[in-house]
């Protein structure tokens, strides 16, 4: 890889990390998702989930966080294009938010499937 391509690639990664950082600093919902990610990691270590369960959790973390970033980008672009209330602007924002919501609900459901039996065993309800 040439020096020009490497510096271009490094810049691309830099822009991506800037976008992630901006979203984390400025958006409430990604902070909520990161809090739940931290809780899942804590309980995953505590309850000793399997490698397969870790892979499922990591995939779902990535899906929800990536969709939250895309949702933020859609909202920013819509706000850049118009400050007026327009049906198409609302549709774009609402459907992007809906995508995050679906992913978060599915992640929570998968989390219950993984963690609920382990938690119930830990407190002695299940054997």
75 marked as binding residue: yes
Give me the average pLDDT of each 10-residue run along the chain (127 residues).
77 97 97 98 97 98 98 97 92 98 98 96 89
Cα 76 to Cα 3: distance, rounded to the nearest angstrom: 33
Domain count, the chain: 1
15 marked as binding residue: yes
53 marked as binding residue: no
Given 53, 68, 83, 84, which residue is catalytic? 68
Residue 82 forms part of a structural domain: yes
pLDDT confidence of residue 1: 62
pTM for this prediction: 0.90
Residue 90 forms part of a structural domain: yes
Boundaries of domain holding 53: 28-122
Residue 12 forms part of a structural domain: no
Cα 22 to Cα 16: distance, rounded to the nearest angstrom: 10
11 marked as binding residue: no
CA-to-CA dists, residue 49 to 54, 94, 105, 108, angstroms: 7, 35, 20, 16
Annotated active-site residue 83? The verdict is: no
Residue 9 forms part of a structural domain: no
- Surface-to-core class of residue 99, CB atoms within 10 Å of its CB (0-12 exposed, 13-18 middle, 19+ buried): middle
> Which H or E run contains 74?
helix 51-81
pLDDT confidence of residue 2: 65
pLDDT confidence of residue 13: 96
Residue 20 forms part of a structural domain: no
Residue 3 forms part of a structural domain: no
85 marked as binding residue: no
Domain CATH code at residue 46? 1.10.287.3610
């Amino acid at each position: 890889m040439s020096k020009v391509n490497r510096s271009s690639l490094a810049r691309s990664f830099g822009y991506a990390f800037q976008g992630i950082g901006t979203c984390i600093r400025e958006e409430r919902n990604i902070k909520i998702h990161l809090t739940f990610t931290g809780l899942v990691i804590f309980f995953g270590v505590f309850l000793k989930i399997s490698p397969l369960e870790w892979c499922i959790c990591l995939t779902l973390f990535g899906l929800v966080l990536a969709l939250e970033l895309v949702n933020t980008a859609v909202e920013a672009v819509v706000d850049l294009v118009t400050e007026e209330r327009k049906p198409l602007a609302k549709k774009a924002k609402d459907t992007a938010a809906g995508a995050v919501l679906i992913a978060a609900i599915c992640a929570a459901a998968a989390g219950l499937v993984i963690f609920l039996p382990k938690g119930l065993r830990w407190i002695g309800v299940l054997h």
